[in-house]
Structures are given as C-alpha cells and as structure tokens.
Amino acid sequence: MLHTQSKRAGLLGNRCHTPGWTLGDVIDFEEAEQRALVSRDGESELHEDRRALLEVFPMQEVSQDRRAALFRAWLDVVRIRDSRLFGAGVDRVFGVLNIASWVIGLAIGGFAVPAYLAYNGEKPINITVVFFGLIVVPWVITFGSMFFSIWLRGTSVKGGVGSTLAFLFSRFSREWKESWKEFTRVLKQHGRRITNISSWLFFSFTQQIACGFGLGALGSILFHVTAVDLAFGWESTLNVGAKLMHGLATFIATPWAWFCGSGVPTLDQIRESRFSYLSGMETISVSATRSWWPFLVGCLFFYVVVPRVALSAVAHWMFSWRLASLDFNRTQDLALMRRLRGPRFQTETPSRTGHLGGTAEGQVLSFSKDGSWNLLIGEGLGYEEEYVQKQVENVLHGTIQRVTRFEVDYADGNGQVLKSLASSEDGVVVAIPADTNPVDAIAGTLQAFYETSPSKDNVIVLFGPEQQRQDLWRRWLREKELDFDVVAVPE
C-alpha cells in the first residue's frame, strides 16, 4: 500500500509534464476504460483515481483539448493498481522490432548482393538482372506493403489483426505465451482503434527493412568493387540495340547524371559491354564492363535508399499524428470523463432537504402493483438478465415486458432506449448496483427517461443490502426533484 502511494506521489510531483501516447498506451486505455465502466468495482476505483488526480487537474476545468492529457495521467494511475495491463510490454516489443527491422534489412541487403554478383569469368554480370532484383523487386514489395496497410484500416480485418498481434507478442516470452488467449481477446475487442494506428507502424517497419536493404546492398557493392574485379554487361535475345539501352540508362540516371557524368555509361561503352554467346568475352571491352558499377550505385542510392528514408519518415509522422489526434469524444470517453469529474455526494454534505446520508422518512410506494414494466439494466450490474428480471418481478409484483441495457450516466447515448420508452405505455424500472454513486449525469439520464415515457410509474431498484445507500438515493432524488420510487433487492 505504501509502495502504491509513493508511486502516486511521484505522479503528482511530475504534474508539469504529460508524456505522449504510444500504441501500448492505447491498448491499455481501451481495456482499462472498459473495465472501469463495466465492472462492479469500477465506481469505487474511479473514485480513488479521481482523488489521485485532483491535484494535477482541476476536474471542473478540463477542456476538450486537455482531455487526452487527463486520460493519459489516469492511465498511469490505473497501471499502478492493475498488473493485468500489458501495453508497456507491447511498446517494448515494438521497440525491439524497430531496431530489428534495420538489422534485418542490412543483413538481407548485405548477403543478397553477392548472389547477384557471382562472376566466374565465362560471362559478365547481367546488369538487367541485377537492376531488376535490387531495384524493381523492392518497389513491388513496397507497393504490396502499402496496399496491405490500407487493407488493415478496413472494417473486415479488425479481429484478424488482433489475433496476429497477439500471436506475435506471445512468441517473445513464456509468460506472454501463456497469456496468448487474453492477448487475443483484448486486441480483437479493441481492433478498430488499434489497426488505425498500427497500420502506419507496420508500413514504417517495412520501409525501414527496405532502407536497410538498400544500405546493405550499397555497402556490399562498394566492397566488391574495391576487392573484386567485376565485369558488368547486358544481353538480350530480342533485337534490342545499344541506342535503346543507352536511352533507358540515361533516363534512369536523370537524378544524378547532371552532377556525375560517369554515373551513366556512354553509348560506346554500352555497345562494347553487350554479351553474345557466339562472340564470347573476347569482344567485350574491359573499360565498358567497369562503367556500369557507378550506374548501379546511383540506382541503389536514389531509387532505394532515399525514397525509403522519405517513406519511413512519412510513416513515422503519420503514426505519431494518429496518436496525437486520438478521438476522445466517443460515448465511453464522455462517460469516463463524467465519472472522473464528479461531483459525488458525500453523506456529510447538507442539502435543501437535509443531509443526504441521513435516515430518510418512511416512503409510501406510488407505483401500480401487478403492472407491466420496461426493465432498464444499468452498466455495472453484473448479473444475467434472467436473474435480474426475476428479482425485479418479485419485488414489484409485476410483469417485465421488455429488457434493455443502458448507460446510466449518459442520456444522449441512450437514443434507442428513449425511442422504445416513447412507444410503450408500460412503466419504467431502472436496475442498478446499490453502490453506484448518484451524480448529476445520472440525474440527466433519469430525467430523460421520465420525460419520454408516457407512464408515470417510475422505479429504481437497487441491488445491494445497504440501507444507507437507499436513504442516500431517496434524498438525492428528492434533491433533484425526480419522481422515482426506490426499492431494494438484497444480494
């Protein structure tokens, strides 16, 4: 306990700086937010979190622009008490992959080039094959990765991406391998949020591999040119002349030909470097075969390394921009915001009708017996619908006609519920946990139900044994002038 408090004190001491978001932060926030809004202990945990954040953020003054900073600070608090969150490990994995992508690219480039530069003296190294393998093929892979990144942002692959990422993470340690099912559940459940960000991260990795490949290939070629006598040439069965090859080479060398004249072979050198099996190597000029390597170096630098550096930078920028522009205006985000901001009603606080936690006067229930009801089950009530319906029917001595789940503190997010109530003459019964704290946002929700339903039978059923909580709710309803009866179902 003291360790947790010291960590929270450290968080409060660092109030001037709020770190940016990472992919692991997003994964943890999505899971922590869902647990806070759905679990039965969410209310009390959020109350403790709010107390830890009060010195950092004046809750009533948090603007929309600072909502991301508040949620990020809240996530730091949640991570202290919830060891099940694994986002920090995800960030470590991606950090390793970030370095590994460069190493893999350098290794592939460094070891792939010797295969293209194999030269036994019987025929020159075919510059067309080398150009296709080192320049064209990487661009085909690049376009493929771009298409895959766009496909990742589609709506049909969210679960698959989560499963793939979970499998990847579970390979890094035995502990994570045992948690593979939990990883899969979390990542599939929050796939839409994750894939919109990770698609750019994936594209960045592919471009880093491609850039490393170009650098490795460039270094390998320069080493071979220095240490080995290489002979480049070209050949074709088709009736292709030296003029056509020279025109193609000159066009390809446009980015560097203006400042490096030797970066493209001349027409005579191209003519003298053509290989034919009938003529053999005797007709090929040594200077002509050596004129191709500057051209190949220029191709690798300007068509592999430079574009990949630019694409990698764009991917990194888009990834950072996605994280910096996260949308926190969703229904669940607004509900979390309201719960963190409060205000909460304490039992010692006086009101116009007395103390909220005092003993309420005896109440005469005003709803009709043996009536028909619309049952609205609030978030956080962790029972099966059949059980809740049976308990409510017993306490009201009535019949449940329709069962719907709703967000207890977000009136605007219950549009379908309001439409259903407007078309029904049945009464409204709201079932929520007794430990739910009455706040202003809940008052707005109840007021919307009251104004929408044609029936004047409105009841709140609290699931819990605490008599003080029932008194609190009755006092609060009177304070807010909400015409709801309160009954309890002991657990």
Residue pLDDT, tens place only, 412-446: 667 788 888 888 888 899 998 887 878 777 888 88
Enter the tokens of residue 95: 């950090």
Q: State which amino acid sits at residue 381.
A: L
Answer yes or no: are the C-beta atoms of 231 and 122 closer than 8 Å: no
pLDDT bracket for residue 104 (50, 70, 90): very high
Pick the more confident residue, 467 or 266: 266
Q: State which amino acid sits at residue 458.
A: N
The pLDDT of residue 17 is: 42
Enter the tokens of residue 257: 């030909």
Q: What is the pLDDT of residues 350-408, one digit of tens each?
A: 444 443 444 444 455 566 677 888 898 887 787 888 888 888 888 888 888 888 888 87
Q: Answer yes or no: is pLDDT of 313 > 90.
A: yes
d(CA 166, CA 177): 9
3-state secondary structure at position 486: strand
Answer yes or no: are the C-beta atoms of 430 and 378 closer than 8 Å: yes
Cis peptide before 343 (omega within 30 of 0): yes
Enter the tokens of residue 111: 């070891």
Range of lowest pLDDT (16-20, 224-228, 272-276, 478-482): 16-20
pLDDT bracket for residue 105 (50, 70, 90): very high
What residues does 378 pair with on adjacent strands?
406
Q: Answer yes or no: is pLDDT of 306 > 90.
A: yes
How much is the CA Rg of the chain, to the nearest whole Å?
34
pLDDT bracket for residue 63 (50, 70, 90): low
The pLDDT of residue 8 is: 43
Q: Answer yes or no: is pLDDT of 342 > 50.
A: yes
What does 333-395 look like in DSSP terms, one character per residue? HHHHHHHHH-----TT-EETTEETTSPPPP----SPTT-EEEEEEETT--S-HHHHHHHHHHH
Q: Answer yes or no: is pLDDT of 264 > 50.
A: yes
Residues 6+ apart with CB under 8 A from 206: 101, 141, 142, 145
* Highest mean pLDDT (candidates 2-16, 46-60, 321-335): 321-335
Answer yes or no: are the C-beta atoms of 296 and 221 closer than 8 Å: yes
CATH for 350-489 (2.60.40, 1.10.575, 3.40.50, 1.10.10): 3.40.50
d(CA 212, CA 95): 16
d(CA 454, CA 428): 10
d(CA 106, CA 108): 6
Answer yes or no: are the C-beta atoms of 463 and 491 closer than 8 Å: yes
Domain segments of the chain as ranges: 1-342, 350-489
Answer yes or no: are the C-beta atoms of 218 and 305 closer than 8 Å: yes
Q: Mean pLDDT for the chain?
A: 77
